[in-house]
Each structure stands twice: as structure tokens, then as C-alpha cells.
Amino acid sequence: MSDWMDSEITLGLASVVLGMLAGRVCAWGACYLPTHLEHQWQRDAREILGLDPEKPNDLQPNTAPSRETWAAQIICAVLSLVVTMYFGPTMQAFFVLLFTWCLLMLSLIDSKHHLLPDALVLPGLWGGLALNSFGLFGTLQDALWGCVVGYLSLWSSSQLTRLITGRVNMGAGDLKLLAMIGAWGGWHILPTTVLLALLASLLASVPRMLKSSTSCPTVIPFGPYISVAGWASFTLQLNSIP
């Protein structure tokens, strides 16, 4: 009994320390990646326009305030602890941790820049399909349909809204993000993910709408809500599998 408790405590402490380190990396990546992408876009634009693509620019990566960095580290440590306590020292836990950290970094980037970079989303999507080809979290068929249904469900909703209102209310990154979550957890978790994400975003939008001017509507990034809802649906589903 004592040995079991000691191993649980050691595992928990190790996951917290690892989560703190991963949280710092996520905070750094959330500052560096958008600046790097903007630099690449400017270089590509100059090349297309026939300008000097090697012209230096003054873009510098932003540094996250210490308060935001610590918040990211604490959140990441708590999530990492939850994952390791749920799954123990298993291969599943290792990949769920990677999935968790990826979603956290995407949420940090989207909340500040309204951007979900393909450099993170697409490798995550293909990684989910590859892992489920070995049956790690589900069947490849469920993962493939999760990817397809996840993308098409938000795409059709976005197109319908655009036809009715004439406005685009959702970016392509949100579609790819839900497809990535479907590739990891299968199509079964998508209804719960979308429902929770919509409810959370609606609740969060109320105080922002009250504070903002009616002539200037507030744009709320949907990616963090999809990430949180998808992570919760994914981990709870895995924990319920006997």
C-alpha cells in the first residue's frame, strides 16, 4: 500500500513539473510562432510582388507577460496532472499529454491573435489519424469519419450563416481544429464538443457584448472553446472505456 502511494505521489509530482515546463514552452511558442508566420507571409508577398524577399524587417517576437506565462504554466500543470492520474504511466497518457499541450498552445495563440496556425493543427490532425491506425484511442474508421464530420459540420454551418447574414463568422482554422479533435477522439465526441463549445462561447460573449459598443461588435475567438470542449470530451470518453 505504501509503495503504491509513493509511486502515485512520484508520478503526480513528475507530471506537475513536466506540465510547468510544457506550459512555459506553450507560452513561448504562442509568442514566437505568430511573429514567425507574419515574417514568412511578408517575405512571400515581397517575392510575389517582385520585391527583395531578403529585405530585413523589424518584426520582433512578443514576450508574454510573466503573469500570462505563470497562468499558462499552472493551467498546463493541472491538466497534465489530470491526464496522468486518469491514465497512469501508459503510452496513452504520453500522447494525450502531447494532445493537451498542443490544444493549450493553439488556445493561447487564438485568444490573442485570432489565428490557428496550420503548423500546429495539421500535424496534430495527421498524428491523430496515425495513432488511431494502430487503435490507440479508437478505430481508424471512427477517426477518419471524425475528421470528415468535424470539418464539414462547421463548414456547412459557416456557409449557411454567410448566405443568411452575408458575414463570415468562423475561420478555416476552427474547421481544421474540430477535424483534428475528431481525428483523435472519433466522430462520437463531436456532438458533445460542439455543444459545450457553443454554450461556453455564448456565456463568455454576454459580458463582452454588454461592455462593447453596438456599432462595433466584439469578435470572439472560437478556437479556445473548441479546444476546451474537445479536450474534456476526449478525456472523459477515454476514461469511460473499460
The DSSP call for residue 216 is S
- Answer whether 80's CB lies under 8 Å from 16's CB: yes
One-letter amino acid identity for 141? Answer: Q
15 near 81, Cβ under 8 Å? yes
The whole-number average pLDDT for the span 209-233 is 78
Examine the pLDDT at 54 and tell me if it is beyond 70. Answer: no
pLDDT beyond 70 at 2: no
Q: What is the pLDDT of residue 1?
A: 45
Position 151 pLDDT exceeds 90? yes
The Cα–Cα gap between 106 and 114 comes to 10
Cβ pair 228, 106 in contact under 8 A: no
Angle at 107 between CA 115 and CA 85, to 5 degrees: 155
pTM: 0.87
Are 176 and 115 spatial neighbours (Cβ–Cβ below 8 Å)? no
User: What's the burial of 185, exposed, middle or buried (CB within 10 Å: 0-12/13-18/19+)?
Assistant: buried
The per-residue pLDDT for 211 is 67
Q: How many CB atoms lie within 10 A of CB 49?
A: 8
Measured in degrees and rounded to the nearest 5, phi and psi for residue 180 equal: -65, -45
174 — pLDDT class (breaks 50, 70, 90): very high
DSSP per residue, 51-113: S-TT-----------HHHHHHHHHHHHHHHHHHHHHH-SSHHHHHHHHHHHHHHHHHHHHHHH
Interatomic CA distance for residues 76 and 46, integer angstroms: 39
pLDDT tens digits, one per residue of 67-126: 888 999 999 999 999 999 888 888 999 999 999 999 999 999 999 888 999 999 999 999
Over range 166-192, report the average pLDDT.
Answer: 90
